[in-house]
Amino acid sequence: MIELYINGSSGRMGTTINDLVNENDEFKVTDNLTSADVVLDFSHPTSTKKIINSCLKHNIPMVIGTTGLNKDVLENIDIASKTLPIVLAANMSIGVYQLKDSLKSFIKKNKNRVNCSIEETHHLKKLDKPSGTAIEIENLIKDEDTLNLISLSKTVSHRKDDISGIHKVIFIDKDVTYTYTHKAISRDIFGNGALYCAKKVIKLQPDLYTFERIIN
């Protein structure tokens, strides 16, 4: 049985993961960091920085899903990944992975000049704007658009009700509009993705892993 320490256990994702673990006999949540096989971090950037140091001290692999990380924390993660296997992913949904795959395919086949907009909607308590997933999508589009055919506008962020997450990418050319959407119905998809990463990362060598690398 894999012992998990959840940094941010009282938050939305922490609560979701706790609930999923209660229905899964592969995992057990522990309050004792030193006995954990892996740490799941869904907290706040300042807390992420602290838990990295603790994991380095006790040599514990990490899965980090906290978003809004600044340059300082990202540098700490990069340094720590030389010693620990770390998964860093703003979104651990298989559906978002498939969305990115679809976007790559569209961009590869596209031969026209198009305008592109990204919209993301989350619950009222999500502080970072745009979302980490929206930033990843924006970077993906920039990286894949080697022919410079895509004019990308500023990402639009909405905070509303208790929405788990909606990401919409729209491409418009003179004749047609293409829309790609990922809508999370519940946070379970992210929680299950995090547990999948936890199961994998404890078997990996020190490095910094994306969700895509874990899936592949």
Instruction: List the beta strands (DSSP E) in the chain.
Output: 2-7, 27-29, 38-41, 62-64, 85-88, 114-122, 150-152, 156-159, 166-172, 177-183, 207-209
Q: How far apart are CA 103 and CA 138, in angstroms?
A: 11
Does 44 participate in catalysis according to the annotation?
A: no
The residue written with tokens 């990463």 in the block is 197
Burial of 108 (0-12, 13-18, 19+ CB in 10 A): exposed
Structure tokens at 59: 């040599």
- Contact predicate 103/139, CB 8 Å: no
Q: Which of 100, 126, 168, 200 is catalytic?
A: 126
Does 122 participate in catalysis according to the annotation?
A: yes
Q: How far apart are CA 94 and CA 92, in angstroms?
A: 7
Of the candidates 130, 111, 128, which has an alpha carbon nearest to the alpha carbon of residue 119?
A: 130
Q: Which of 57, 82, 109, 122 is catalytic?
A: 122
Structure tokens at 63: 């899965």
Helices (H) and strands (E) counted in the chain, each on its own, are 7, 11
Q: Which residues are catalytic?
A: 122, 126
